[in-house]
Amino acid sequence: MRIYPTGVQKEMLKKTFGCCRLLWNQMLAERNGVYQLLKENSEALREHKYKTEKEYKMEFKFMKEVDSKALQSTTRHLLEAFNNFFKGLKETRKVGYPKFKSKRNKQSYTTYNINANIKIDFTNKRIKLPKLKTWIKYRDDRTFAEPIRHVTVLKTKSGKYFVAILIEKELDIAPMIELREDRIGAFDMSASEFLVGEGEDFCNPRFYRSSEAKLKRLHRQLSRKKKGSQNRWKARLRLVRYYEKILNQKHDWVHKTTFNLAKKYDAVILENLNIQAMQQFNSGLSKSVSLDFSWHQFITILKYKLEWRGKFYQEVGRFFPSSKLCSTCGYKNKSLELAEREWICPECSVHHLRDENTSINLKKEGIRLLQEKGIVIIT
């Protein structure tokens, strides 16, 4: 939710962002340096004792003024980033090397709720954060009774402040044991439509196209302004705000689409991440308006929205020949090309529309996998 800190509060938040950023960059630089020194000697590299957070706090005394939990989570996040990077190397999955943080980008820190040092007052719409002596006003109508686990404070590039609050809630939902076949949705990724199923498609948001023209215009306006001028600063702010707007639209779209899927279906079957289709889907769009960032997020959100209702998300393996099988007789049409939108089965003579046939096969395979888990399917 959005928060509205006062000038004094902004100063404290700025200090905290700054200290966390400094700690992150110092620790990262130390690791880079040690790696350069010891990369020939893997044992020494493994055994190397890095400076502790405490030692950094001794070195930069002003770090004591800010929330110590924020510094702790910075350390933890950096170590996690390295772990993910090394794990990614082993699994040949692409995970970026941890990057230095810049004060020109969005700022954030995460703090933990220990001994109720984070409080929220729903009546007066204000939140209390560690080390901030006064309450910060927020605007939001949601309330909750569960204890707060942690809070991430965020400042966008355009200067807005937000908090993301993580709460822990026990869900007492038993997974469904019987599913009606007509309440199971199977979808194939498509370049033009995003998700294609029998009966219903979930289309990609067309507003990206129109956003792109405006983005180009804003970029052009910025490049025309004199460096260091007030007008340039204003143009940059307009651009940054517009990027944030697009990002919000993406989030909105992802949440709406996953919500609709989880409401309509008791199980959703998707083909395991099809990178090629995703690239096609994003082709011709600039990175800022493409959906690539959110495919993983899309699945994560869809999964929990289903699970919270006792429903199921079922992935079908990437190597399942969903488009090549005849959904009527099971014949495998090995020579089917990507461009062939329809075909006639040489075995049973049924005429197939490619997308429809694919989603029927996906559904069959998904149902088989659900049944393997002991779920009963009612036709």
Residues 6+ apart with CB under 8 A from 373: none
Q: Active site residue: 67, 188, 198, 365, which one?
A: 188
> For Zn ion, how many residues bind (rule: CB under 5 A)?
7
- Binding map of Zn ion across residues 290-329, x = CB under 5 A, - = no contact: ------------------------------------x-xx
Rounded Cα distance between 97 and 296, Å, is 19
Question: Smallest distance from the beta carbon of 343 to Zn ion, in angstroms?
Answer: 10
Output 162 or 331, the one with its CB closest to Zn ion. Answer: 331
The answer to the question of residue 348 lying near Zn ion (CB under 5 A) is yes
Span of 206-214, 288-296, 305-313, 331-339 interacting with Zn ion by CB under 5 A:
331-339
The answer to the question of residue 342 lying near Zn ion (CB under 5 A) is no
Question: Smallest distance from the beta carbon of 331 to Zn ion, in angstroms?
Answer: 4
Q: Which phi and psi angles does 194 have, rounded to 5°? A: 75, -80
Q: Is 35 helix (H, G, I), strand (E, B) or coil?
A: helix
The answer to the question of residue 356 lying near Zn ion (CB under 5 A) is no
Span of 5-13, 167-175, 274-282, 348-356 interacting with Zn ion by CB under 5 A:
348-356
Q: Is 11 helix (H, G, I), strand (E, B) or coil?
A: helix
271 has catalytic annotation: yes
The answer to the question of residue 345 lying near Zn ion (CB under 5 A) is yes
Phi-psi region at 29: left, alpha or beta (left = phi > 0; alpha = psi -120 to 50):
alpha
Tokens 């995703």, residue? 278
Structure tokens at 376: 């009963």
Minimal CA–CA distance to 211: which of 245, 235, 236? 245
Q: Active site residue: 67, 198, 266, 271, which one?
A: 271
Q: Is 287 helix (H, G, I), strand (E, B) or coil?
A: coil
Q: Which phi and psi angles does 107 have, rounded to 5°? A: -110, 145
Strand partners, 189: 195
The answer to the question of residue 331 lying near Zn ion (CB under 5 A) is yes
355 has catalytic annotation: yes
Question: Smallest distance from the beta carbon of 138 to Zn ion, in angstroms?
Answer: 60
Question: Smallest distance from the beta carbon of 321 to Zn ion, in angstroms?
Answer: 14
Question: Smallest distance from the beta carbon of 349 to Zn ion, in angstroms?
Answer: 7
Rounded Cα distance between 87 and 84, Å, is 5
Among 347, 351, 353, 371, binds Zn ion (CB under 5 A): 347
Output 95 or 350, the one with its CB closest to Zn ion. Answer: 350
**How far out from the chain centre does Cα 158 lie?**
21
Rounded Cα distance between 356 and 227, Å, is 55
Binding region for Zn ion (CB under 5 A): 326, 328-329, 331, 345, 347-348
Residues designated as active site: 188, 271, 355
